[in-house]
Amino acid sequence: MKPLIITSTFSTPSVELDTETGLFQFEGRSIPEDAEIFYRPILSWLEEYYNKPAPVTHLEFRLDYVNSGSSKYLLELFRIVGRNYRDGHECLVIWHYEEEDEAIQDLGEHYKVTVKIPFEFRIINHEDIE
């Protein structure tokens, strides 16, 4: 299975899903006009990935903004991961957020409570980036 790589746009995040390492990265803003068109191929890819997943799947999210349509599909993504986690496939979600961005932090907390999979929260330190 080939990795899935999607370049970011003004309204969609970059997505890098690597089958060999099990590292999945989402970065940027997620405000597509039609979230289903953007996320449906990702969800289909993820379903296929779990036919032969890496020993541990790491999902890293660095999202600046998520609209309600995107949030619905991210929840579906986490439900797929959660279903497979309960079937014995290890995972860890690393949810990055800016310290003052309570909306993104709360969204990650919502997903954690809803799907009950391992989440780690990390504050983005801009000094480390520069």
Per-residue confidence band for 127, with pLDDT thresholds at 50, 70 and 90: low
Per-residue confidence band for 78, with pLDDT thresholds at 50, 70 and 90: very high
Pick the CATH number of 4-129 from 3.40.50.300, 3.30.750.24, 1.10.3720.10, 3.20.20.70: 3.30.750.24
Q: What is the pLDDT of residue 125?
A: 78
- Give 21-41 pLDDT, tens digit per residue: 999 999 999 999 999 999 999
Say how far apart CA 126 and CA 62 lie, in whole Å. 13
Residue 97: closest CA among 121, 81, 80: 121
| Domain assignments of the chain as residue spans, ordered by start | 4-129
pTM > 0.85: yes
